[in-house]
Amino acid sequence: MNRLPKVESDPTFQKVESDPTFRDANQPPPFEGRNLYLADRALQDAASREGASWAHERLVGWGELLGRAETFALAARANRYPPELRTHDRFGERIDEVGFDPAWHDLMRLAMREGEHCTPWLEPRDGAQVARAVAYLLHAEVENGTQCPLTMTYAAVPVLRRHAATLPPLDDLWLPRILEREYDPRSLPVADKASALIGMGMNERQGGSDVRANLTHAERSADGSYRLTGHKWFFSAPMCDAHLVLAQTGAGLSCFLLPRLLPDGTRNAVRIVRLKDKLGNRSNASSEVEFDGAHAWLLGEEGRGVPVIIEMVQHTRLDCAIGSAGLVRGAVAQALHHATHRRAFGRRLVEQPLMENVLADLTLEAEASTALALRLARAFEAAAAESERSLARLATPAIKYWVCKRAATVVAEAMEVLGGNGYVEESALPRFYREAPLNSIWEGSGNVMCLDVLRAARRESAAIDAIVAEMALARGADARLDRHAAMLATALRQPDTRERDARRIAGAIAVGLAAALLVRHAPAAIGDAYCASRLDDGYAGALGTLPAGVDLPAIVREK
């Protein structure tokens, strides 16, 4: 007996596929072909209330472009055919080039035209950061690898601007090209390019998050530049035109701008050792590199590398939260789409009581992550009050920790809603699942974020005041939230809070802020359900465990 599976060239297979009895096979229609922005009322509402209503038409256009079947196809292709390292040309000369599938370049071209890497810096009006956050969140629902160089470029701008006066090439050459919206992937000196992208390299083999353990060292040259010797264990992304890197000088850890190509067109002394074979983020190139007297310029003062680069890190952490919120929303949208059209046991999945509980719980996560991400983006606005900046210093690590952690759980549950259909690559959920842990690890893993929360609380009472004031805006709307806010205010002001409790505190901040936002702004059923399920002591942490009394149909209908 032939046990080989049938293939598409088999005439029997063809006959079965064309049989009219198989045409109505209880499969949902394609998910693609929708406006991702108009399909998300919570995102539209958050954009409006956080100050970006003026960008509505632009975001509608971006949502339509991203939701096309062609754009989803580009995302699938860019991840199916990952980048390849080419260390040498056919003559044996070292080139250290990374080759990408054309789909990668098409996606980068779309995102840069939208301005994900630069719009808040070009248009520093009220709501600019929020509008950019919405565009970034929508992008995350489709493809995530291309977001890495866009985030780093966006986050590098305030650092480079701060030091432009002491380094003329920044103003003359780099910043004008970083702020351009025409994608230019050519390997050329920055003076010959239409635009430029910026990456970063902080971690080394022996250090990881402990960047002060870095061994790469820098020596000053007669012309005022520096020569770097050492390595980077994670160098993201090697095709960028320059990178912000950390290296040791006699005064301590310092920050440098390291170009990929020198002004005369020669390659800088940066050798790409290999590309990382990563769990997810497959379309993007991450690398290990070695420096052999690589040319670089000092940013700021010697020995002040961490304070210099932390401004970039703060913005990349914001994007981690926004991107994870996009993953959550994308996964939940696909789960709801499937459950609305798929039938089992005589009813649609969305009408099954237990599935309805799961879908409602997933919806709460999407609403909460969206509300948190856009509220945090507002705190980054150019004209933000000092109280907003204080809020950002405490809320950024807390929200980054919580939303990124929840993403993996949400994507796994959404995949289960689709069952076997969700486990195959065509659904995109396996790619989302591989992607979900990245933002939780990048720019500070969970423990690092939670310890940063404790440090910020101990160092800056104004940050605690800002968090307490934000939650007080919802005072009286829900007794459970009032109790949670009082507990959190007490815990944050305890000077002897132990490190072992840092995750509990960080999570309580994020959940409390989300509850306050939902109680104030979301439909009543959503705010009530979030408080009932996330603030009570009986919360099990598993999705699909909303308590009795929660209006499940009302929540599911909201999406």
The CATH code of the domain that includes 503 is 1.20.140.10
Taking the C-alpha atoms of residue 504 and residue 386, their distance in angstroms, rounded to an integer, is: 27
pLDDT in tens, 289-343: 999 999 999 999 999 999 999 999 999 999 999 999 999 999 999 999 999 999 9
pLDDT of residue 10: 34
Are 122 and 205 in a shared domain? no
Are 292 and 330 in a shared domain? no
pLDDT in tens, 39-81: 999 999 999 999 999 999 999 999 999 999 999 999 999 999 9
pLDDT of residue 541: 67
Neighbours of 207 (CB within 10 A): 15
pLDDT in tens, 12-38: 334 444 555 555 689 999 999 999 999
pLDDT in tens, 385-430: 999 999 999 999 999 999 999 999 999 999 999 999 999 999 999 9
Are 393 and 531 in a shared domain? yes
Phi and psi at 297, nearest 5°, equal -115, 140
> From residue 351, how far is each of 342, 344, 363, 428, 558 by CA, in Å?
10, 10, 15, 25, 15
Are 424 and 327 in a shared domain? yes
Q: What is the pTM of this model?
A: 0.93
Range of the domain at 121: 41-162
Percent of the chain with pLDDT over 90: 88
182 domain-assigned: no
Are 260 and 155 in a shared domain? no
Are 448 and 320 in a shared domain? yes
Amino acid at 353: P
Amino acid at 180: E
Reduce the DSSP state of residue 247 to 3 states and report it.
strand
Q: Which of 162, 181, 216 is the last residue of a domain?
A: 162
Residue 206 pLDDT level (bands cut at 50, 70, 90): confident
**Mean pLDDT value across the chain:** 93
The closest of 36, 76, 81 to 427, measured between CA atoms, is 76
With beta carbons less than 8 A apart as the criterion, state whether 203 and 255 touch.
no
Are 331 and 294 in a shared domain? no
Stretch 102-112: mean pLDDT, rounded? 98
With beta carbons less than 8 A apart as the criterion, state whether 473 and 516 touch.
yes
Question: For the chain, what is the domain count?
Answer: 3
Angle ∠(387,255,247) on CA atoms, nearest 5: 135
Are 413 and 502 in a shared domain? yes
The closest of 392, 316, 326, 318 to 43, measured between CA atoms, is 326
Stretch 427-455: mean pLDDT, rounded? 95
Phi and psi at 200, nearest 5°, equal -150, 155
